Amino acid sequence: MDGTPRAHCDHLFNIGISAFFGVAVMLLILPLQAFLGKKTSVLRLRTALRTDERVRMMNEIISGIQVIKMYAWEKPFGKLIELTRRKEMICIKQVNYIRGILISFAMFLSRVFVFASLVGFVLQGNVLNAEKAFYITAYYNILRRTVTMFFPQGIGQYAELLVSIKRLQTFMHREETQVQDKSIDAPHSTVASDKENGSLINKGSGDVPKANGNLESLVDFTQFYARWNSKSTENTLDNINLKLGRRQLVAVIGPVGAGKSSLIQSILGELPADKGSLKVNGRFSYAAQEPWLFTGTVRENILFGLTLDKHRYRTVVKKCALERDFELLPQGDKTIVGERGASLSGGQKARISLARAVYRRADIYLLDDPLSAVDTHVGRHLFDQCMRGYLRSELVILVTHQLQFLEHADLIVIMDKGKISAMGTYATMQRSGLDFAQLLTDPNKTKEGDTDQDSEPGDIWDRLSLASRSRRGSKTDKSNQPSRNVSFTSLSSFSESIAQDPAMTQQETRVQGKISLGLYKEYFTAGSGYLMICFMVFLCLGTQIVGSSADVFLSYWVDKNKNVEDKDSDPIDIYYFTALNIAVIVFTLVRTMLFYKLAMRSSTKLHNAMFRGITRAAMYFFNTNPSGRILNRFSKDLGQIDELLPTVMLDVVQIFLTLTGIIVVICITNPYYLVLTLGLAIIFYYIREFYLKTSRDVKRLEAVARSPIYSHISSSLNGLPTIRAMGAQKALIAEFDNLQDLHSSGYYTFLSTNRAFGYYLDCFCTLYIVIIILNYFINPPENSGEVGLAITQAMGMTGMVQWGMRQSAELENTMTAVERVVEYDEIEPEGDYESQPSKKPPPTWPEQGQIVADDLSLRYFPDPQSKYVLKSLNFEIKPMEKVGIVGRTGAGKSSLINALFRLSYNDGSIIIDNRNTNELGLHDLRSKISIIPQEPVLFSGSMRYNLDPFEEYSDAKLWEALEEVKLKPVISELPSGLQSKISEGGTNFSVGQRQLVCLARAILRENRILVMDEATANVDPQTDALIQATIRNKFKECTVLTIAHRLNTIMDSDKVIVMDAGQMVEFGSPFELLTECETKIFHNMAMETGQSSFDRLLKVAEKAHLESQKQKTA
């Protein structure tokens, strides 16, 4: 018998009109199942959007985890994730409850069909006999899986397939980028379409120096307009007219948000043209403002897929001042670059990015502010040896804030508000009415002039409108803008050498062996207490008991009617049968709904525990685990726990109990079948164990192989401008294909073993049924009802055993997701958030701001034998002192800040106002120290949330802080003011503006200690002067630590710490170090800025020293 139309006709012929009763119920149920299946697809789309939002937020949190820790913002971000997760769980619960109803249908609908046909048959006056009962039961048992399982699943999965296809279609229909694939090793010409031939003339374009007549034009802007957001009414670049040729060094300068980086992006083709034309003739290479590195060796990051030319490579390394760094790195240029550049300083990352750009042979070199992240000595070397020297025969477009180098540029382009406000040579600028000399010296004059140091500096940038420094178009949502974030995620390396340095990149752990019973216990107890679990067990057993009772009662009913000639059956039998079937429906629905409720509780608790585990983890964990690996667990693994695991687990429980009931029923009819059943069970056990040994580890391998794909995609998206500029698309696509093939091979192996397992189970099930049927032929029993019952039960068992064993194996495979989630819950925390009551500092601590380092050493790894990056530092910073920290890139300046915030592993101690910070809770310590970090981070959400996630301050206070940093005009012009949305990573603000937001945060916190970690590296001199003036004004009674490469910013400090190779080599006032220190390290650093600059720095230091002496004697 099968489910073909012929089988339906046979059923109608054998049963009569009563056959329509069961079929009618079935036809009535089908539309309901179809509706629920379609409803599931709608909810799945909604769930996918919620999940995307949560994963996006997790990616943002993981990317900015160091800033979150330093601000002690784990709790507000935890609440934000909890809120997002709660919204996601509402949709998931709705999907799972519908799925639960459909699963319940599989349990009782076939019984309902049988009930309708049997009762209809009896109510027509027929006597129920074994033949009719067997025929009806067998017929609906065959249809059961098709109607109650496969049909609704098919509808739901088809609807989900449509959702996935539509999402892919939406993505594929997005506008294609105009960036050409430069993977081919040949010159290119990139031409932006001439959308409008306007006659607009830029006032600043009259003196545009043309490329020499005998030189080809490599870059040609003609009345060029562009904007990041097509919906914006304001242009990012406005009427650009610029023509550049070979052998030119072009310096692009301007205030924060003037459009300098956008000019570079337009040449790269990342910024789409609105009108006008842009012609780029030749190959170009690009070094981003925020260096993008991928997980791999330093050499691989420089070569970036190109073949190694040893002579050129050595030359580039030397010109980019990396030789000394290679000597200090443990494996030289084969040292693994961990994610987020954990093993490198900001200056090292910048120079590796520059070396990558220089190593590539090109006609045009686009260098977006590579000098800001390095000290003066290295900056001078890079400019003289690399940009003026090695690249002299090519076109070099250099965005910079280092104005001391401008006199050596062939052309200077000053930008403001997206326009070229002035252009010319250095000599032309000095003769112009823009007072270019003042532009170069004003930041220093502010410090050495007669004006009050607390007054606000003002110069040419004010005339260029500070209020308009935001990138044009930032007033609207720039969701379509290409991200220019620093790469926090890792590209899976171009080679297999990642594993060479276990210190920086850990292989993802993979548990071996069986899933422990303790893991199941942890899963169940996460969702409920033992009492609720016991009640759940009672419902499961009760459901099966009433189901099996209905089957046994049917056999009893048939046997009772065997010798009855009267066609009128006893009504009490119908009542009993009806009551048992109703009990099955009620028990099944209650059991299923409660099971899913508990499963959703467990999923929520596991997610919260995993989030708590990673936010409490030390930075070492994030430095050695790619973000893709972490996101894999928050997306794929958690998704399996949310939706797949409850269904599989309920399937296993339901099938196990059903099979138990079937076996009990068969053995009641013939106890000898118990021996046969035990033999079959033993065979199944060994087949299952053999299968699980393979499938479980294959599933774990598949999960591990999935993480690099996440990392690769995330990193590639962050580094798209660099990837496209370097023509590395094909290499990246090939690498992705390799990772995808590796994962697909694991997944295919898993599916293949699953199918093989099902095939062998089917073979033995069929043999089991054949033996039972042959036995009844050889030894026919007296009770025909029992025969029909046993055979129908055994036939129903065939597919059920196969499916049940596969699902039990799938359950154990899926439990590996729980295993991986629990693993992150058990990460060793970096320390307690709160201090012990006896050690807790008062709310006003620190009151003075005194900092004492006592034999302070720092290592980045938990192993006590690992290398120290800070070595036995001893110093005292007195209350309210302003201390500068200088040194070569990689000298340990930022590591000193890490030690202050206890982000790594400290030996020795730091004492603040007579309290050992090692004894304080991390939040008690970090919340009392303000920082403007080296890499400014903004999070998606409102501006208000970015300034005050704890909602501690009034709007008036926030506006006041923004006014202090001169951002109030920018924010007030946004559509919703403080409630205006910030794009992911803050990409709708320039890097300099993000630094100012971080300064506003520090102003709000009003702490006694402020740390500035190269906070002015990416801002123009005027904004630097603004920040310094604000700090002198707002933090004059605070202790301020400033890591700086611009020596003029720390020359009026009380003390300077000079770092080298993790040691403090000089410590004293700037004037003493310039004039009296025997080692002369600081003196030589100042001399490298030039004699005139040295004289100005010395005057500033001398004046500050004299004022300090007066205060001491007063």
Taking residue 143's Cβ as centre, other Cβ atoms within 10 Å add up to: 23
Average pLDDT over residues 345-374: 88
- Orientation angle between helical segments 784-825 and 530-560, nearest 10 degrees: 170
Task: Give 931-955 pLDDT, tens digit per residue.
Answer: 988 778 888 888 898 898 888 888 8
Find the angle CA(1084)-CA(1086)-CA(1092) to the nearest 5 degrees. Answer: 120
* Mean pLDDT rounded to a whole number for the chain: 79
pLDDT higher than threshold 70 for residue 442: no
Average pLDDT over residues 742-766: 85
The β-bridge relationship of strands 296-297 and 336-337 is antiparallel
Helix (H) or strand (E) holding 65: helix 65-71
pLDDT higher than threshold 70 for residue 478: no
pLDDT higher than threshold 80 for residue 135: no
Place of tokens 């280092």: 402
Q: Tell me, what's the pLDDT at 180?
A: 59
Per-residue pLDDT band for 444 (boundaries 50, 70, 90) equals very low
Q: Tell me, what's the pLDDT at 127?
A: 72
The CATH number of residue 647's host domain is: 1.20.1560.10
| pLDDT over 90, % of the chain | 18
DSSP 251-315: EEE-STTSSHHHHHHHHHT-S-EEEEEEEEES-EEEE-SS----SEEHHHHHHTTPPP-HHHHHH
Residue 1056: which of 1042, 1039, 1038 has the closest Cα? 1042
Q: How far is CA 783 from CA 130, 557, 565, 624, 1039, in A?
A: 9, 12, 17, 71, 96
**How distant is the alpha carbon of residue 892 from its chain centre?**
28
Place of tokens 């102003």: 1003
Average pLDDT over residues 1036-1050: 85
Does some domain include residue 955? Answer: no
**Which range of residues forms the domain containing residue 119?**
5-173+509-825
pLDDT higher than threshold 60 for residue 7: no
Q: How far is CA 531 from CA 235, 525, 758, in A?
A: 65, 10, 36
Does some domain include residue 74? Answer: yes
Q: Tell me, what's the pLDDT at 876?
A: 93
Contact predicate 460/414, CB 8 Å: no
Q: How far is CA 397 from CA 137, 377, 388, 522, 1027, in A?
A: 82, 21, 11, 59, 27
**How distant is the alpha carbon of residue 463 from its chain centre?**
41
Report which of residues 248 and 792 the model is more confident about.
Answer: 248
Q: Tell me, what's the pLDDT at 501?
A: 41
What is the C-alpha to C-alpha distance for residues 585 and 543, in angstroms, rounded to an integer? 8
Please state whether the peptide bond connecting residue 843 to the residue before it is cis, i.e. omega within 30 degrees of 0.
no
Does some domain include residue 243? Answer: no
The β-bridge relationship of strands 296-297 and 851-859 is unpaired
Q: Tell me, what's the pLDDT at 1114?
A: 60
What is the C-alpha to C-alpha distance for residues 116 and 46, in angstroms, rounded to an integer? 38
pLDDT higher than threshold 50 for residue 183: no
Indicate the range of 166-170, 481-485, 867-871, 922-926 predicted with least confidence: 481-485
Query: Any residues with CB less than 8 A from the CB of 830 and at least 6 apart, and which?
Result: 616, 617, 618, 619, 902, 922
Residue 893: which of 991, 1014, 995 has the closest Cα? 1014
Which is it for the CA torsion 1014, 1018, 1023, 1024, positive or negative? Answer: positive
Q: Tell me, what's the pLDDT at 313?
A: 93
Q: Tell me, what's the pLDDT at 494?
A: 32
Task: Give 836-860 pLDDT, tens digit per residue.
Answer: 988 899 988 999 999 999 999 998 8
Q: Tell me, what's the pLDDT at 1013?
A: 81
Contact predicate 611/81, CB 8 Å: yes
DSSP-derived secondary structure letter, 492: P
Residue 1070: which of 930, 933, 885 has the closest Cα? 885
Q: Tell me, what's the pLDDT at 569?
A: 60
Q: Tell me, what's the pLDDT at 5?
A: 55
Does some domain include residue 937? Answer: no
Q: Tell me, what's the pLDDT at 357?
A: 92
Taking residue 196's Cβ as centre, other Cβ atoms within 10 Å add up to: 12
pLDDT higher than threshold 90 for residue 178: no
pLDDT higher than threshold 50 for residue 392: yes
Contact predicate 382/931, CB 8 Å: no
pLDDT higher than threshold 60 for residue 320: yes
Q: Tell me, what's the pLDDT at 214?
A: 40
| pLDDT over 70, % of the chain | 82
Does some domain include residue 180? Answer: no
Taking residue 956's Cβ as centre, other Cβ atoms within 10 Å add up to: 8
What is the C-alpha to C-alpha distance for residues 458 and 435, in angstroms, rounded to an integer? 13
pLDDT higher than threshold 60 for residue 198: no
Does some domain include residue 1055? Answer: no
Domain count, the chain: 1
**How distant is the alpha carbon of residue 977 from its chain centre?**
28
Q: How far is CA 502 from CA 296, 624, 838, 861, in A?
A: 12, 9, 40, 11
Q: Tell me, what's the pLDDT at 792?
A: 67
Taking residue 451's Cβ as centre, other Cβ atoms within 10 Å add up to: 12
Find the angle CA(210)-CA(364)-CA(322) to the nearest 5 degrees. Answer: 130
Contact predicate 278/192, CB 8 Å: yes
Place of tokens 């993981």: 62
Helix (H) or strand (E) holding 1040: strand 1039-1043
Read off φ and ψ for residue 350, nearest 5 degrees: -65, -40
DSSP 755-789: HHHHHHHHHHHHHHHHHHHHHHHHS--S-HHHHHH
Per-residue pLDDT band for 612 (boundaries 50, 70, 90) equals very high
Residue 242: which of 200, 189, 289, 279 has the closest Cα? 279
Find the angle CA(254)-CA(356)-CA(736) to the nearest 5 degrees. Answer: 115
What is the C-alpha to C-alpha distance for residues 633 and 519, in angstroms, rounded to an integer? 17
Per-residue pLDDT band for 456 (boundaries 50, 70, 90) equals very low
Per-residue pLDDT band for 212 (boundaries 50, 70, 90) equals very low
pLDDT higher than threshold 50 for residue 713: yes
1062: left (phi over 0), alpha (psi -120 to 50) or beta: left
Does some domain include residue 345? Answer: no
Does some domain include residue 1084? Answer: no
The β-bridge relationship of strands 395-399 and 364-368 is parallel
